[in-house]
């Protein structure tokens, strides 16, 4: 499960930074049928979380109501240089994670 | 009955459906259930959706909440509800004072034209909402298509 994350490379302490994440995932709703008429099992990303310097700053419960290749944009305050760690898990138990570092000045 | 009396009563009868309409609860019953009896007031939250979506499979959505986002006064969570989706609770977002700004952008699936509601739970325990109507030309697929 590839993901694309965009955060500023550097920021000043106290700045509100924009965080964007796009995960490659079908977000299968569980209401569609395949070519031979069998229901395709639901498989969506349930939980997406973001930890900044080890502290959870954002979490989302997603459902089939979120588009395929889910995109989420949120904000956080640049506190200190470190990593933003993203983790997500889908119905099949597949986990994905990604990290991006930020340099905080001042 | 004098003509004047008749007109007055007719006007009263006409006004009645109007007031009855105004009393219809604009809030999604699921939102009411989620708040668990607490008052859910309109305001603070701004929900931005396009008025018309050609394709319900991916509709951009923006939720902003008017909040200083300090340790004493911040948004705890934002919940998205759909009237017509098979899963009405589309997403829950959990924020905190570290967010700095209460704004979420995402893309949702919508099964038909409907009203979408966003509810925010604040740190003082109050609930606020905003709702936006949307016309969806092609619904997100519930069957093969």
B98/A59 touch (CB, cutoff 8 Å), yes or no? no
What percentage of chain B reaches a pLDDT higher than 90?
Answer: 66
Reported as a single tens digit per residue, the pLDDT across A37-52 is 899 999 999 999 999 9
What span, in angstroms and rounded, lies between the C-alpha atoms of B62 and B1?
57
Judge whether A46 is closer than 8 Å to chain B, CB to CB: no
ipTM for the complex? 0.94
Residues of B in contact with A75 (CB under 8 A): 99-103
- Of B94, B106, B142, nearest to A66 by CB-CB distance is B106
B103/A33 touch (CB, cutoff 8 Å), yes or no? no
Q: CA dist B68 to A38, B61, B63, B97, B101, Å? A: 50, 22, 15, 9, 8
Q: Compute the Cα dihedral for A23, A29, A34, A40 and give only its sign.
A: positive
Structure tokens at A66: 């979120």
A7 three-class SS: coil
A29/B109 touch (CB, cutoff 8 Å), yes or no? yes
Domain boundaries, chain A: 3-98
B46: closest CA of chain A, how far (Å): 15
Residues of A in contact with B102 (CB under 8 A): 75
Q: Which fold has domain A3-98?
A: Immunoglobulin-like (2.60.40)
Residues of B in contact with A54 (CB under 8 A): none
Could you count the other beta carbons within 10 Å of the beta carbon of residue A101? 12
B99/A31 touch (CB, cutoff 8 Å), yes or no? no
Residues of B in contact with A17 (CB under 8 A): 100
Range B39-56 average pLDDT = 94
* Entry pTM: 0.86
pLDDT of B23 strictly over 60 = no
pLDDT of B29 strictly over 70 = yes
Reported as a single tens digit per residue, the pLDDT across A43-93 is 999 999 999 999 999 999 999 999 999 999 999 999 999 999 999 999 999
What span, in angstroms and rounded, lies between the C-alpha atoms of B101 and B68?
8
* Domain annotation for chain B: domains and CATH numbers: 27-138 (2.60.40.2470)
Judge whether A68 is closer than 8 Å to chain B, CB to CB: yes
- Of B96, B105, B142, nearest to A73 by CB-CB distance is B105
């Amino acid at each position: 499960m590839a993901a694309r994350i965009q955060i500023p490379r550097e920021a000043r302490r106290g700045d509100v930074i924009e965080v964007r994440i796009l995960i490659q995932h079908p977000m299968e709703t569980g209401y569609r049928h395949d070519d031979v008429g069998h229901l395709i099992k639901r498989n969506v990303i349930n939980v997406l979380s973001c930890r900044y310097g080890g502290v959870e700053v954002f979490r989302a419960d997603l459902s089939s109501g979120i588009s395929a290749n889910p995109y989420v944009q949120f904000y956080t305050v640049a506190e200190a240089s470190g990593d933003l760690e993203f983790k997500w898990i889908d119905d099949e138990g597949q986990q994905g994670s990604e990290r991006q570092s930020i340099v905080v000045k001042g | 009955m004098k003509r004047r009396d008749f007109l007055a009563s007719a006007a009263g009868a006409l006004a009645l459906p109007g007031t009855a309409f105004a009393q219809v609860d604009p809030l999604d019953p699921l939102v009411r259930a989620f708040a668990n009896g607490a008052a859910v007031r309109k305001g603070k939250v701004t929900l931005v959706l396009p008025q018309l979506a050609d394709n319900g499979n991916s509709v951009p959505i923006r939720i902003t909440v008017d909040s200083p986002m300090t340790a004493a006064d911040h948004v705890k969570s934002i919940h998205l509800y759909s009237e017509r989706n098979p899963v009405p609770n589309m997403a829950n977002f959990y924020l905190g004072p570290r967010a700095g700004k209460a704004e979420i952008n995402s893309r949702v699936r919508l099964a038909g034209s409907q009203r979408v509601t966003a509810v925010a739970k604040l740190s003082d325990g109050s609930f606020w909402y905003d709702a936006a109507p949307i016309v969806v030309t092609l619904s997100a697929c519930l069957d093969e298509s």
